[in-house]
Chains A and B, each alone.
Chain A
Amino acid sequence: MHIGESMRECEYSQISTRSSTPMETPHKKRSPKRKKWEAFPGRNKFYCDGRIMMAKQTGVFYLTLVLILVTCGLFFTFDCQYLAKELTPIIPVIGGALFLFVLGTLLRTSFSDPGVLPRATPDEAADLERQIDVANGSTGYRPPPRTKEVVINGQTVKLKYCFTCKIFRPPRASHCSLCDNCVERFDHHCPWVGNCVGRRNYRFFYMFILSLSFLTIFIFAFVITHIILSSHQKGFLSALKDSPASVLEVVVCFFSVWSIVGLSGFHTYLISSNQTTNEDIKGSWSSKRGKDNYNPYSYGNIFTNCCAALCGPLPPSLIDRRGYVEADAPQLAAPTNGITMYGATQSQQSHMVSAVKTQAAATPLLQQQTSEPVIITSSTENGTSLPARASLTLGGPCSTFPLGQPTPPTSTPSLSCQEAADVLPIHGHTLNHTYPLQEQAPHHHYLTPEEVPSPPGMLHCGSPLGHSHTVQAGFYNPASQDSLHEDSVRGLVKLSSV
């Protein structure tokens, strides 16, 4: 019986609300520990164990790299010798510094998290759904597009609901369809850097294009100088023959200069007016929309706007890439940004008791049911005490259900979980979204649907409608609920004694 089995694995250890030393896990792990980046729901590529994060299509980024490396390489190899001899050796030094700066900012832009917003946990999504249903009085058919209006500094801003991430997007955030993530202060998706440009990497992007403009102009100017000086000595054609690379450099730089310098100028304007590319293109704050239309985010003067964009505090990444999906201990989690360390105790305690006992809409309950096994069974199988489970956090339900978070009725019946018209009622969607569970079952023990008190129908993405009844029937299986409460009990026994 499931309860007995879980009980044998339990560790009846002292619990505290502090993040204390973890208890040893005497029991073998039934599934290998996975880092959150491996279960990330967006369409991103991760390297170096989650330290590097890029978009899915990186071909153009490699082109950018090649162009920069080849052009600079040719410059240093063929032109710098002459220039250092004839003019001054400072030229290659400055060129070298510029080149390193360009490369550094490019890599920083491409590899860092642009400010991705993690997707909503099932509980949050359910809560939002409840609120929206109350407001609409909807009967389960497709509700109208969801927006919330908020007044920011006197300007009315509409917050849109993201069907993929199940959140109301903060102002200035936008969902990148290429990366399938909501990004804070979304500027644009830049294929040249192979990543989105958002709140966290905008300053690097700006530094990159600015320094690249200088570098391009620098190389262009000095290659021309080299050719001119050389042709005074040997004649024009002879000079070209002696350093053919210079011709290539001139061509590359000539075509780059217009676009890069133009782009730098454009972004300088955006920064000084505190707008994003997204807003500028849409004309959100343009006076053409209305006499009273102004940018509520601008600080009023150019200097403050620039400072805010370039030298303001750098927020940490909200997605904990290197934490563990089913963590054992805070020290094992070792997140690069230290986020899972924050409030570790609260997180794991709050998570383990995800059995929400409501009798409201079936959907929220259904979500609870399906999300519980993820959290509870993983904790029981590890057998560690609760404080130890640092990273059993937000990432838990989110990361283990990359596409298939059982969610309220907004997404399509398709498995891709993208924004689209939803046709099926609530239960159908939820069941559909549990399909990926099956795919991951071999990897995550806790994703075993057999531990969920749901009918076998949930394992197959069959006709969702047909299963809705059986799922509901499976709801109040006391056995499963008991097993899910074990951890909550352990944690709360201590909690109540605080």
Chain B
Amino acid sequence: MAETHSLQDMRQQVAVAAKVFIQRDYTNGTMCQFQTKFPSDLETKIDKQQFEETIRTLNNLYAEAEKLSSQSFIEGCLACLTAYTVFLCMETHYEKVLKKIAKYIQEQNEKVYAPRGLLLTDPIERGLRVIEITIYEDRSFSR
């Protein structure tokens, strides 16, 4: 009974109010970049600078993953020579950067977004189509 009570209390405190989707920005081709335009739904929730900083960092990280660097070239040649069996033991450069991105998003969520009642979803879970930002609503005052 007490459990029910507390759960109901908690239930009234938070709820998903809306989800904002940051779409991809294709102006530079098929590279994975997201639009830095500040969505109107987030105006009251977060600083425009903060938001743009996050998106810009993410864009830079994705650019790094897809960059045609000499490292990726060597990796590609080595993979071809070993009939791509080398990827059984090694991670591709892209995967390494994706892990970095995941860590960055987690860190951003903890430091910046969660305190403001927002949550970033890693775009890889959305097939790199969108950055999903969930807006949580605090209803504790409505009791």
Residues of A within 8 A of B (CB): 4, 7, 10, 12, 17-18, 100-101, 104-105, 108, 117-118, 120-121, 123-124, 127-128, 150-153, 157, 159, 167-168, 170-172, 184-185, 203-204, 207, 296-297, 304, 307-308, 310-316, 318-319, 337-343, 345-347, 349-350, 353-358, 393-394, 482, 485-486, 488-490, 492-493, 495-496, 498
Inter-chain contacts of B14 with A (CB < 8 A) = 353, 488-489, 492-493, 495-496
Contact, CB under 8 Å: B127 / A314: no
Instruction: Determine if B110 is an interface residue (Cβ-Cβ < 8 Å).
Output: yes
Contacts A118-B127, A121-B126, A341-B102 given; indicate if A313 touches B94 (C-beta within 8 A): yes
Neighbour of A496 across the interface among B16, B114, B120, CB < 8 A: B114
Smallest beta-carbon distance A114→chain B, Å: 14
Contact, CB under 8 Å: B114 / A7: no
Neighbour of A337 across the interface among B76, B95, B117, CB < 8 A: B95
Smallest beta-carbon distance A385→chain B, Å: 15
Looking at A10, A124, A492, A498, the one whose CB has the most chain B CB atoms below 10 A away is: A492
Q: Which residue of B lies closest to A19 (CB)?
A: B106
Smallest beta-carbon distance B141→chain A, Å: 14
Neighbour of B106 across the interface among A345, A489, A490, CB < 8 A: A345
Contact, CB under 8 Å: A498 / B94: no
Contact, CB under 8 Å: A17 / B114: yes
How far is A357 from B102 in the complex, measured between Cα atoms in Å?
A: 28
Contact, CB under 8 Å: A108 / B11: no
Inter-chain contacts of A493 with B (CB < 8 A) = 10, 13-14
Contact, CB under 8 Å: A311 / B72: yes
Instruction: Determine if B54 is an interface residue (Cβ-Cβ < 8 Å).
Output: no
Smallest beta-carbon distance B103→chain A, Å: 9
Inter-chain contacts of A203 with B (CB < 8 A) = 76, 80
Inter-chain contacts of B79 with A (CB < 8 A) = 314
Residues of B within 8 A of A (CB): 3-4, 7-8, 10-11, 13-19, 21, 23-24, 26-30, 65-68, 72-73, 75-77, 79-80, 83-84, 92-95, 98-99, 101-102, 105-106, 109-110, 114-115, 117, 119-122, 124-130, 132, 134, 136-138
Inter-chain contacts of A207 with B (CB < 8 A) = 80
**What are the nearest 8 A-B pairs in CB distance?**
A343-B122, A311-B76, A492-B14, A342-B102, A118-B127, A353-B16, A489-B10, A498-B114
Contact, CB under 8 Å: B7 / A308: no
Inter-chain contacts of A152 with B (CB < 8 A) = 26-29
Contact, CB under 8 Å: A124 / B21: yes
Contact, CB under 8 Å: A316 / B92: yes
Inter-chain contacts of B28 with A (CB < 8 A) = 152-153
Looking at B28, B93, B117, B129, the one whose CB has the most chain A CB atoms below 10 A away is: B129
Contact, CB under 8 Å: B26 / A498: no
Contact, CB under 8 Å: B125 / A171: no
Given A313-B92, A345-B106: 10 more A-B contacts, CB < 8 Å: A10-B7, A105-B83, A128-B21, A152-B26, A311-B72, A313-B68, A316-B98, A353-B15, A492-B14, A496-B138
Inter-chain contacts of B115 with A (CB < 8 A) = 498
How far is A207 from B83 in the complex, measured between Cα atoms in Å?
A: 10
Inter-chain contacts of B95 with A (CB < 8 A) = 316, 337-338
How far is A345 from B73 in the complex, measured between Cα atoms in Å?
A: 33
